[in-house]
A and B are shown apart, each in its own frame.
Chain A
Amino acid sequence: MGDKPASAIKKIEATGLMRKLMGAYFQEIDQAARTGDRKIAWCTSVGPAELLRSFGFLVYFPENHGAVLGSSRLAQELIPAANARGYSPDICSYLTSDVGSYIKQQTPLIQAFGMAGIPKADVLVYNTNQCRDVQDWFAFYQREWNVPLIGIDTQRGLGDITRDHLDGLIAQHKALIPTLEEVSGRTFDLDRLKEVVASSYRCTLLWKKVLHLAAHVPSPITFFDSTIHMGPAVVLRGTPEAEQYYAVLIAELEQRIADGVAAVDGERHRYYWEGMPVWGKLRDHAEMFASEGACVTASTYCNSWIFEPLGCDDPFEGMARSYTELFIVRSEDFKEQYLKTMFKTYGIDGMIYHDAKTCPNNSNCRYGMPQRLNRETGVPYVTINGDLNDLRLYSEEQARTQFEALGEQLREGA
Chain B
Amino acid sequence: MSAFFCGVDIGASATKVVLVDGDGNALARVVRPSGVDYAATASNCLKLAMQDAGLVDQPAFTVSTGYGRENVDFAGETRTEIHCHGLGCFHLVGRAVTVIDIGGQDNKVIHLGDDGRRLEFKMNRKCAAGTGAFIEEVALRLGLQVGELDALAGAADRTVKLGSFCTVFSKTEILSHLRNGEPVEGIVRGAFESVVERIVEMDPLDGLVAATGGVVAHNPTIVEIIKARIGREVIVPEAPQFTGALGAALTARSLASN
Contacts and interface: CB of A to CB of B under 8 A. Distances in A.
A413 B75 contact: no
B80 A408 contact: yes
B120 A380 contact: yes
Interface in B71-119: 72-73, 75, 79-83, 106, 117-118
B165 interface: no
B70 interface: yes
Interface residues of B, number: 18
A350 to B, nearest CB: 12
Contacts of B106: 398
Interface string A389-413: 0000111011001101100110011
Contacts of A374: 120
A413 B67 contact: no
Given A1-B73, A398-B106, A401-B80, A409 B118 contact: yes
Interface string A205-245: 00000000000000000000000000000000000000000
Nearest to B203: A371
B117 A385 contact: no
B81 A1 contact: no
Interface in B39-85: 67, 70, 72-73, 75, 79-83
B120 A408 contact: no
Nearest to B70: A1
Contacts of A401: 67, 80-82, 123
- Range, interface on chain A: 10 to 19
B70 A385 contact: no
A412 B70 contact: no
Given A398-B106, A398-B123, A405 B70 contact: no
A395 B126 contact: yes
Given A408-B79, A408-B83, A402 B120 contact: no
Contacts of B121: 405, 409
B73 A408 contact: no
Contacts of B72: 1
B179 interface: no
Contacts of B83: 405, 408, 412
Nearest to A380: B120
A380 B117 CA distance: 13
B126 A408 contact: no
A404 B69 CA distance: 12
B67 A405 contact: no
A397 B123 contact: no
B108 to A, nearest CB: 9
* Residue of B72, B73, B106, B126 most packed against chain A (CB within 10 A): B126
A391 to B, nearest CB: 12
B118 to A, nearest CB: 5
Interface in B113-139: 117-118, 120-121, 123, 125-126
A412 B67 contact: no
Contacts of A402: 82, 123
A259 to B, nearest CB: 33
B243 to A, nearest CB: 16
A401 B70 CA distance: 12
Contacts of A397: 67
Contacts of B123: 398, 401-402
Given A395-B126, A397-B67, A401-B123, A408 B117 contact: no
A393 B83 CA distance: 26
Given A385-B125, A395-B126, A398-B123, A412 B80 contact: no
Nearest to A396: B126
Contact of B126 (A385, A405, A409): A385
B84 to A, nearest CB: 10
A384 to B, nearest CB: 9
Contacts of A393: 126
Given A398-B106, A398-B123, A413 B117 contact: yes
Contacts of B82: 401-402, 405, 408-409
A374 B203 CA distance: 14
B130 to A, nearest CB: 14
A380 B80 CA distance: 16
B201 to A, nearest CB: 14
A246 B67 CA distance: 42
* Residue of A393, A401, A402 most packed against chain B (CB within 10 A): A401
A398 B126 contact: yes
B97 to A, nearest CB: 16
Contacts of A409: 82, 118, 121
A404 B80 contact: yes
Interface in A93-128: none
Nearest to A413: B117
B80 A405 contact: yes
A404 B67 CA distance: 12
Interface string A356-383: 0000000000000000001000001000
21 contacts: A1-B75, A374-B120, A380-B120, A385-B125, A393-B126, A395-B126, A401-B67, A401-B82, A401-B123, A402-B123, A405-B80, A405-B83, A405-B121, A408-B80, A408-B83, A408-B118, A409-B121, A412-B83, A412-B118, A413-B117, A413-B118
Interface of A: 1, 374, 380, 385, 393-395, 397-398, 401-402, 404-405, 408-409, 412-413
Closest 3 CB pairs of A and B: A395-B126, A405-B82, A405-B80
